[in-house]
Amino acid sequence: MFCGAHIARPTGTRLQQKPACTPTTGRQDCCFNMANLIDGRAIAERVYVDLRREIAELKANGVTPGLAVVLVGNDPASRAYVRSKDKMCRELGLHSLKLELPESTTQAEILSRVEELNADSNIHGILVQSPPPAHIDEAAIVRALDPRKDVDGFHLENVAKLVLDDPSGFVPCTPLGVQRLLIESKIEVNGAHIVVLGRSMIVGKPLALLLMQKNANANATVTVVHSRSRDLAKVTRSADIIVAAIGRAEFVKADHVREGAVVIDVGINRVDDAAGERGYRLVGDVAFDEVSKKAGAITPVPGGVGPMTIAMLMSNTVKAARQSL
């Protein structure tokens, strides 16, 4: 394989500012004898072009989509995620409300805030950043959300709508982002055998349900494997498309992948790297260097699924605003 015309090209000023690739750069989005790269950042920018048009139409009808993000505690990763979501809201012209609550916030206090947001007509989407502190019952918080504002897609009503192929529900953002990556990359899903590694309610289960739906962007044969699956590598080698969401750094090796398969890496893990500026580096659930030599297409980490998760959160918020009319 070679670096050629099929590789997604960066668009937008932020993407153009990356330093040039060299053999020592160490970025996964640098192409040296690797598979065709699926550029999540570039695809997310295309999503935002569509969203800006929808947002302008809503504003012309007197509706500004509004997203409220509730953060409890001081987890650094959660704070970073919340900042990026707030920043993107503002770039798109959405109404953004960020509630940062102390670690000591009680269950009753969070539920009270959720009730206020449920009743606020300026807020169309509510997201309570996960994970909350240990003393908080996260499932009870999700159940308290108005399902029409549950843009994370975890409320029981939205899970049921996903099972029932009801398009009015909200699909969790990461699975929705994976599907959009496949669509925008013109990767055939209809009739394909897709193996999903991981069975979480955040990615694995909803993604399997989404990709087996009866519509033009799905119709896949989906197999879900996990830590207790037998002959896991044998199963993954039968896949046209592999989605790795197992939460283990560089778990998927070259012998898990057949020649030419598409590999979508949902994982993001920190591994020690004494030579790195920060003392660590970010890797996915896929051993990128070896798998990219066999895969027909592959997502990098970072820069693959991550940008699409935020893009789909924005998309779900705009959808919630549209459905409120």
Annotated catalytic sites, by residue? 85, 129, 152
C-alpha closest to that of 57 among 311, 308, 325? 325
Cβ contact 189:219 at 8 Å? yes
Instruction: State the virtual CA torsion across 260, 263, 269, 272 in degrees, nearest 10.
Output: 10
Distances (CA, A) of 165 to 173, 204, 216, 226: 16, 17, 13, 25
Q: How many whole angstroms separate alpha carbon 221 and alpha carbon 211?
A: 8
Q: Which residues are CB-contacts of 255 (< 8 A; sequence separation ≥ 6)?
A: 233, 237
Tokens matching residue 171: 């699909």
Cβ contact 281:250 at 8 Å? no
Q: How many whole angstroms separate alpha carbon 273 and alpha carbon 280?
A: 4
